[in-house]
Structure formats: structure tokens, C-alpha cells
Amino acid sequence: MKTIHLLIFQFALLWSAIYSVHAQDIYDWDDPQPVSDSVSFNSNPAGVLLSYSEFGIFYEKRSCDTCNAGIWFRNFTTMAPEKSVLIGNASYTHPHFLESYNNNFIGYLICFTQIQNTMNIMAYKLDNDLNVTNTYPLTNSDTYKSDLNLYSGNLGWMEDESAMLSQINGGVDTIFLAENLVLDSGNIETFRLSEEAAYFQKWEGDSLHIFARLKKYQIGSGYYWDELMAIDSTGNCLDLNVANQTFFYFADPIWVKNDQIFTYSQHSNPSINQYNTKQLTHIKHPSLVLWDWMVAKYFGQPHVLVYSTGLDEQSEIYSSLGDYGYEFDTLAITRNNVTDKNPEVFWGEVTHPESNWVYAVWESERNQHQPLYFSKTKAYVGSGINVISPENPLVMQVMPNPFSTQMTIQIKAFKNSPIMLSVCSLSGKSIWNKTINYQNQETQTIVWQPQQGTPKGVYIIVIEQDGLKVSQQAIYK
């Protein structure tokens, strides 16, 4: 019996060593590099995939800490010099980007535009060289606005102590907002929007607590939203954020409480989970990307998390990759004697049909200025499950991948019930869908041929049956 136990122990040690080496191989942050110049004040990065092979960020730049802000851009793939996009007599802040899925122009840059004491939300149409070709006002009021959110065609913001929501409509030559909806008002500190919910950090007495309204189903051109419900009403909940980018719907919120990072998902049990931050202190501004339910077992790590830890010059950027509470590695991205703070993490360009770069971007206080810095690591996000069982009841295979003219999708399920197949952009916008009446556990083969004018790039293939979703990315080149 002792011999058997010894063999099991030795095997466990060997597997742990192999897994650790493999994990370190796929989870290694590059040395930090500057995004911006070092003689200005830069903040609020917003990541954007220019194509499946190019990634960059829009961000704010001020020449002094009280000057008007402009919006600039930096391509992380080519590392071409910074490019000014919006500069002038107004102050342009909180950039977001809405892809056009059109070969003639890249999309709309949406941001706050403040002229003297009047602030509104504007959309700026950008050509493929990031030049502004047209301007569209999305709001027209004198009230102060903050907390601009853009998620999958929905725009949210704070105005006059109310959390506002509106659907973006338009096309090639116009863009406008549908009727505004007040999601909540009063005592709101922070408002964050995701595909399936709106999250609020609200004051209750002397403490901040987390609340949500869940989006349920569509009514005409709008949606029905559940009543406001408490997510975490204990302690003091700080730094509310949502996952910057996910594959399809699962943009979970995260927040800090008692130097621990918590997350909520209506799709998990328990619904509130805690990330393991290895007893680090003074944790602030967590940022997250997810790819839950897409990974093969071999690369079964569903998130990259970044955050700052420490005070003043001891503030550093840390990261972790792993499952809730089982992060196998917690790494310092920065180790220096400057204040690194407010990190954001984004999906980057494809490096392989089953991997993407992931970028961390943060503010770094240096020589009385605030440049942006970045680092990158690689995340493996492909699906490798190909046998159905009660444990793996829904599987698919996409081929060829990459593809140039058409793509074949093979689906197999353990249950006999309808399957919804969707082809989506990385931002979650549905490009094509089909309902499959599945029977007899037989392999279903579907061919998708992109319509003329469909942009080349990365698409997410999603199948859903009885609430279970399985996804895989495919490259149209």
C-alpha cells in the first residue's frame, strides 16, 4: 500500500511540474514598453481590433494636467508612432470604438466632447486611415455626463445622477441613439454595462454595494430589464469594472473588497466567486478578459486578470491566469520605483487559430508626467472537445480554419432539442444565425459562406442548446 501511495505521489509531483512548465510557457508577459510620449498626461485606453491581425488603442492625451484632452491612437502590432485623431478647441474624453464591419471605413469613435461648459456624446466617423470624415451628435443637453459605456451596440452613461441606456442605430452614412432608458438613479458611484446586464456601485449609508439589473428578453426594438437587485450588500465594495472583452455574452463584473477581488456570474454556482490574489495588499482597479466555455481541457484557464497593488511608488501591476480561486500563477508585470496604476486588459490580434495576444495597458507616473505603458502575453482559446457525453453534451468542429471562401461547421449533441447556431463578431454582434432541429445524436453539417462585403477578420461561432453555449473562433482571411 505504501508503494502505491508513493507512486501516486510521485506521479502527482511529475504532473504538477509538467503543468507548471507548460503554464509558464504560455503565460509569460513581455517587458513593458511605452505607448505614449513621456512629457504628457495619458489615460483611459480603449482597445480595438483593426483586423484579425492588428490591434491598437485609442486614449486621452493632455499636454498639461488641466489642459483640454485630445484622442490619440497607437498601433501595437506595427508599433507605428502615435497618431492624433481628435484635437482642437474642445476636450475629448473617454473614447470608445464601434466597428463598422464595412470595407470602406473602419467605424465610429464615440466619446464625450466638452466645449466650454457643455458636454455631449459625439460619434466621429473614421476612414481606414483613422481620419475623421463626419461628425454626429448623439446627445444634446447641458447636463454633466460621466461613466461612458459601450457594449455590443448599446451605449450607457451617467447624466444628472441617473444611469442612462440607449441602443445605437445607423449605418454607413448616419448614426443615432434610440429612445433613452433610465436604468437607475440616486446614490450611484459607478455604472458599468455588459451584454446581458447593467451593474451599479451604489452608496448605502457609509458603504458602497454592488447592484444589477439583468436584461431578459426583447420587446419590439428594446428589452425587458429585471428590477434592481443586490449582488453584494456587505462590506465596502470598490472599483467596480466589467470584463473588457469576452467571447460572446459572459462579461462578468469584478470589484475589490477587503483587498480581495470578487466576481459575479448568473451562469455559475455559486454566483459570487473570489480570485486568489496571493495575500497582496492595497489592490485597486481590477480588469479582466474571459473566454469561459471555449477552452480545450489542456488549456483550461478561463481568464486573464490584471490589477494594481501597493501604494505610491510601490504601486505595481500584477496579473493572474486561472480558474476562480485556483490561479496557478500571480506575476508582477512591473517592478520599478514609479507609480503604476489603473491597468486595463484587452484581447489582441490572433497569433494562431487557437491563440490571441492579450495586452495590459496602464498609467505610469514618471518625471511629473503620466505616459501609458503596455505588456502582452498569449492566451490559448481554442476548443478541442470532440466527443459527446453527459459531461460534454454539445460539441462542434470548424474547418478549414482559417478559411477564405466558406466554412464548414459540424455539430453533435447528446440531447435531442433545437440548437441555435450564430456567427458573431468579436464584439458580440450577430452576423448570421440558423436554427437546427437536432435529432438522434447525428452529426449536423452546416456551411457558412460570408456575403459579399463581409470584412475579413476573426469571427466567433456559437452554438446554444437548452441554455448551454459552446463557442469557437474562426479566421476569415
List pLDDT tens digits, range 426-449: 666 788 989 988 877 678 889 999
Residues 458 and 314: their CA atoms lie apart, in Å, by 39
Among 380, 413, 443, the domain boundary falls at 380
Residues 232 and 268 in one domain: yes
Residue where one domain finishes, among candidates 380, 414, 433: 380
Q: Which residues of 422-450 are buried (b: 16+ CB within 10 A; e: fewer)?
A: bbbbbbbeebeeeebebeeeeebebebeb
Single-letter residue type at 130: L
Is residue 388 one of the residues assigned to a domain? no
- Cβ 341 vs Cβ 313: under 8 Å: no
**What pLDDT, on a 0 to 100 scale, did the predictor assign at position 98?**
92
* E-state strands within 338-448: 339-352, 355-365, 372-380, 394-399, 407-413, 419-425, 430-436, 444-448
- Residue 75 sits in the same domain as residue 214: yes
Q: Is residue 99 part of a domain?
A: yes
Pair 226, 134 in one domain: yes
Residues 333 and 448 in one domain: no
- CATH number, domain containing residue 470: 2.60.40.1930
Does residue 111 fall inside a structural domain?
Answer: yes
Does residue 374 share a domain with residue 404? no
Mark whether 177 and 201 lie in a shared domain.
Answer: yes
Q: For residue range 38-51, what is the model confidence (pLDDT) as tens digits?
A: 999 999 999 998 88
pLDDT at 298 over 50: no
Tell me the residue type at 422. Answer: S
User: Which CATH number characterizes residue 333's domain?
Assistant: 2.120.10.30
Same structural domain for residues 206 and 279? yes
| 118, part of any domain | yes
Residue 12, domain member (yes or no): no
Cell of 382: 481554442
Domain boundary among 334, 354, 380: 380
Same domain, 398 and 375: no
Domain membership of residue 1 (yes or no) is no
Average pLDDT for residues 146-163, to the nearest whole number?
Answer: 92
375 and 444 both lie in a single domain? no
* Predicted local confidence at residue 302, as pLDDT: 58
Q: Evaluate whether residue 8 is within a structural domain.
A: no
In a domain, 262, yes or no: yes
* Count of domains for the chain: 2
Residue 129 structural domain: 26-380
Is residue 65 domain-shared with residue 179, that is, in the same domain? yes
The model's pTM is 0.78
Confidence of residue 376 (pLDDT cuts 50, 70, 90): very high
Residue 407 CA to residue 73 CA, distance in Å, equals: 34
The confidence score (pLDDT) of residue 452 equals: 84
Query: Does 404 lie in the same domain as 359?
Result: no
Cα distance between residue 134 and residue 143, in whole Å: 24
pLDDT, mean of residues 105-111: 94
Examine the pLDDT at 374 and tell me if it is beyond 90. Answer: yes
Together in a domain, 350 and 398: no
